[in-house]
Amino acid sequence: MMKYLIYLLLLSGLLSGPLCAQYVQEEDSTEATSPVITPQRQPQRPAWRDRIFPGGSFWLQFGNNTYVQIAPLVGYRVTDRFSAGVGVNYIYQRRRLYYSNGQPLVLKNSVYGGKLFGRYTLYKNIFAQAELEALNFENLNEATWTVERQWITSPLVGGGVIFPIGQRATFIMAALYNLNYDPSRNVYGSPIIVRTGFNF
Q: Give per-residue pLDDT as tens, 122-153.
A: 999 999 999 999 999 988 777 777 788 899 99
Q: Which long-range contacts (CB under 8 A, 24 or more apart) does 48-54 make?
A: 51/76, 51/77, 51/78, 52/76, 52/77, 53/77, 53/83, 53/168, 53/199, 53/200, 54/199, 54/200
Which 8-state DSSP code applies to residue 101? T
Of 52 and 108, more confident: 52
In the chain, which ranges are continuous DSSP H helix? 2-32
pLDDT of residue 61: 82
Q: Which pLDDT belongs to residue 45? A: 63
Asked if residue 135 lies in contact with residue 150, where contact means CB atoms within 8 angstroms, the answer is no
Q: How confident is the model at residue 52 (pLDDT cuts 50, 70, 90)?
A: very high
Residue 29: what pLDDT? 46
